[in-house]
Amino acid sequence: MRLLKSLYINNRLFLAIVCVVLCFILSFIVGGYTIIPKILFFVLLAFILADALLLFRTQRGLYGYRFTPEKLSNGDENEISIYLENFYPFHASAEVIDEIPHQFQRRDLTFRLQLTPRESKTIRYLLRPVKRGEYSFGAVNVFVCTPLSLLKRRFRFSHDALVPVYPSYIQMRKYELLAISNRLTETGIKKIRRIGQNMEFELIKEYVQGDDIRTINWKATARKSNLMVNHYQDERSQQVYSLIDKSRVMQMPFNGLSLMDYAINASLVISNIAIKKSDKAGLITFQDTIGTTLAASRGNRQMAQLQEVLYNQKTGYRESDFSTLYAHIRRKITQRSLLLLFTNFESLYGMQRQLPFLRSLAKQHVLVVIFFENTELTDLIQKPAENLKEIYHKAIAEKFAYDKKLIAKELQKTGIQTILTTPERLTVNTINKYLELKARGLI
């Protein structure tokens, strides 16, 4: 039974059987029974037995496995590889069908390759998940043929692998490496000249050649009878909180990812950058109630905790309550901090309802409100209108796009830092704003 389950008829064998049957029928039509169909039948049977013997005499004719990362990165291309090694003493033709998770909605993932005796090959392909959660991979099915190609033998490897999809750690590592190698400008991060000094006193030490003479401490010099200077260091350990709105306004999808997933990926990157710059990173999620609060820290485990917390976030269908957010921040965050608020406003009225709470937050902290341009509206505006209906649609789209710009101006009038960005540019624009505020000494 096990052998029969792994045995499959190839197209060539099916055609051969059809030909033999036709020969039998033709022999009766032409003039009775002849020996030719019988000979063809036994020749075909001999080929089938020889093919089956070649395929099944080696118990372990083919070895393979699928390599998947421990976790996949949401919104990024993740590499999956399949390793195959041929133990047959002949050239084998293989057809590989990988059972990928149903979330990808792909049924065409088939690979064909030739393997010489004792040859090994690796198949690599990319998958881009657009939702966080657990993804279940099925088996890797490999159908092997001999040079006769009459029968196929199926091998199954790497059954039932369960792989979680986390927020974009690939993007996080990319920006981290660029920051370490001073190549952030390649991704659109601006070089910002630091204005003035934002220094805190560290110690008094003896003057050495190269020290800034403007830092000479004359009182200490008089006491020590030796030239002494003040030593300063950049102010560190500023708190940077990502405030992520989980309400229904963040469910809008762009390129497969929801706005909340874009915000989650960006908050992971900016938190990592902040920690690398010796600041503390924290997180608050909210909708009508407060969801998760992770206190700001720059400890060794902070980024791992952020990934775990962000992995479990889900959007809701309720309206966001900024009054609850304000009360929670006032109670929990006592030190002046940078608050990066990821939300979305679709109308000027919707923003004005929340404006009193945003003003109150901006009085106590440095508040940056980050919301999104609708790229589909932009495409509609740029597309030429050809009839009255399209002109009407284009006019409505321009009105909504203008409302977004008006919202940004109204927020800036009240002294609130604002970022109006496309989802794709969210991470770059957020990092630019963080570096700008650091350079200006506002945090």
* CA atoms of 77 and 153, how far apart (whole Å): 32
- Give the C-alpha separation, 83 to 429, whole Å: 41
List, as one string, the DSSP characters of 344-369.
--SSHHHHHHHHHHHHHHHHHSEEEE
Token pair for 13:
């064998």
pLDDT attached to residue 342: 96
Burial class of residue 172, CB neighbours in 10 A (0-12, 13-18, 19+): buried
Tell me if 337 sits within 8 A of 357, measured CB to CB.
no
- So what's the pLDDT on residue 2? 47
β pairing state of 366-372 and 228-234: unpaired
Q: How does pLDDT run along the chain (443 residues), one tens digit per residue?
A: 444 445 555 555 556 666 666 666 655 555 555 666 667 667 777 877 888 888 888 888 899 999 999 999 999 999 999 999 999 999 999 999 999 999 898 887 899 999 999 999 999 999 999 999 999 999 999 999 888 888 889 999 887 889 999 999 888 888 876 665 555 555 555 555 554 445 556 678 888 877 778 888 888 888 888 888 887 655 557 899 999 999 988 988 888 889 999 999 999 999 999 998 888 999 999 999 999 999 999 888 999 999 999 998 888 778 899 999 999 999 999 889 999 999 999 888 889 999 999 999 999 999 999 999 988 888 888 888 888 888 888 888 888 888 999 999 999 999 899 999 999 999 999 998 998 888 777 76
Q: How far apart are CA 105 and CA 198, in angstroms?
A: 53
- All structural domains of the chain: 1-166 (2.60.40.10), 169-193+236-439 (3.40.50.410), 200-234 (no CATH)
**pLDDT the model gives residue 195:** 46
Pairing state between β 151-157 and 120-127: unpaired
Nearest Cα neighbor of 367 from 405, 403, 419 is 419
Say if residue 41 is exposed, middle or buried (CB neighbours under 10 Å; 0-12, 13-18, 19+): middle
Tell me whether residue 31 is exposed, middle or buried, using C-beta atoms within 10 angstroms of its C-beta: 0 to 12, 13 to 18, 19 or more. Answer: exposed
- CB neighbours (10 Å) of residue 402? 11
Instruction: Compute the chain's Rg from CA coordinates.
Output: 33
- Residue 195 DSSP label: P
With contact defined as beta carbons under 8 Å apart, do 335 and 363 qualify? no
